[in-house]
Structure 1
């Protein structure tokens, strides 16, 4: 029962943050959304902060699993780069509750050491995944530059699309623009 309850609380946290924002999300709003007593949050997560951190880890793990699901042993390095982009623009990353939650966590990470650490892990993971494939297509130094540029492009396009409250067509256009950018980097730096 514990995994079910924990997931209910994480889902309720995402819903509460999307509705009220991170600052106005309370143990009470979360427990009400989950239909559970507020004491269960303390039981499973220690406090609201523990639940917030678990929710961020849940979202990060979803990104990771989405990418792992797509990659096979025969996936080319160029296709792997395309999958990384697709994962960051996947439908789950476009949902209103998810986008609002990501934005709230990013903003709060500037004031919270643990959320900042998780944001840094996310950023480093994206750059590392990109660099791995770029290194197969160009020299190491250029690959690191391309990974940094591409990560900034993905984050920037996603953020601009979310902040403009765009529809799924705009997310698709942003995904295609990021893919086009990767192809231009490979053409410019590739060996």
Structure 2
């Protein structure tokens, strides 16, 4: 975490520089020297406020997660509390638009995703993000499905989001947000129709 006193203007500058360097040379080759040169600051500033490369990487991941949360929160606030399927669609869209969909951000996220398997703190941040996504989805899905069904569909949507992100970042053309939304919403519609049909059949047989 950055030390108290780090000028607010420097944080986004350094985060952007970190993502640019990771995009260009990869996470392991993204040295403090390259990042400081990209940001136009001395290596001493990074070491002083972040304690080195790892602290700056952690702050960069936190910045991405904060922006992600702001994006989804804003989309949900614009919708009625009882518009559950629309709110699920908004959660899905929030993973594929704006800041999150920028190629540089997507590559940085993928690099962190891989690195987090071997770093406890980054893994914790990744788990926080995963739990937040599933929590958002469960809240809306439980209004439409049983608890067990909601749990299953929430994990299905989360898996599709992760898979599309992975494929998109490995694709030179990046993530196709329209196709991503269409694919996941198709899955959601089919699941809701399937469970709704089964519920009607069960009640009819009763």
Using the size of structure 1 for normalisation, the TM-score is: 0.93
Q: CA deviation at 1:94?
A: 2.6
Q: CA deviation at 1:81?
A: 0.5
1:122 equivalenced with 2:129 (yes/no)? yes
- For these two proteins, the number of residue pairs brought into alignment is 190
User: Given the alignment, which residue of 164, 167, 173 partners 1:157?
Assistant: 164
Give the alignment's Cα RMSD to 1 decimal: 1.6
- Pair member with larger Rg: 2
1:84 equivalenced with 2:91 (yes/no)? yes
User: What residue is the counterpart of 2:50 in the other structure?
Assistant: 45
Asked whether the 8 Å contact 1:16–1:30 carries over to 2, the reply is yes
Q: Deviations over 1:53-109 (max 9, x none)?
A: 010011011111001111226151111100111111113223221111011111111
In 1, the alpha carbon distance for the partners of 2:135 and 2:195 equals: 18
Q: Deviations over 1:132-184 (max 9, x none)?
A: 1101111111111110111001111222222222356x331122111111121
User: What residue is the counterpart of 2:110 in the other structure?
Assistant: 103
User: What residue is the counterpart of 1:138 in the other structure?
Assistant: 145
User: Given the alignment, which residue of 71, 75, 80 partners 2:76?
Assistant: 71
Using the size of structure 2 for normalisation, the TM-score is: 0.86
Give ranges in structure 2 of 5+ residues lacking alignment.
1-5, 200-206
User: What residue is the counterpart of 1:30 in the other structure?
Assistant: 35
Aligned CA distance change for structure 1 residues 91 and 6 (closer, same or farther; 3 Å): closer
User: What residue is the counterpart of 1:185 in the other structure?
Assistant: 191
In 2, the alpha carbon distance for the partners of 1:87 and 1:40 equals: 34
In 2, the alpha carbon distance for the partners of 1:177 and 1:119 equals: 24
1:173 equivalenced with 2:173 (yes/no)? no
Moved more, 148-157 or 87-96: 87-96
User: What residue is the counterpart of 2:204 in the other structure?
Assistant: none
User: What residue is the counterpart of 1:9 in the other structure?
Assistant: 14
In 1, the alpha carbon distance for the partners of 2:174 and 2:17 equals: 24
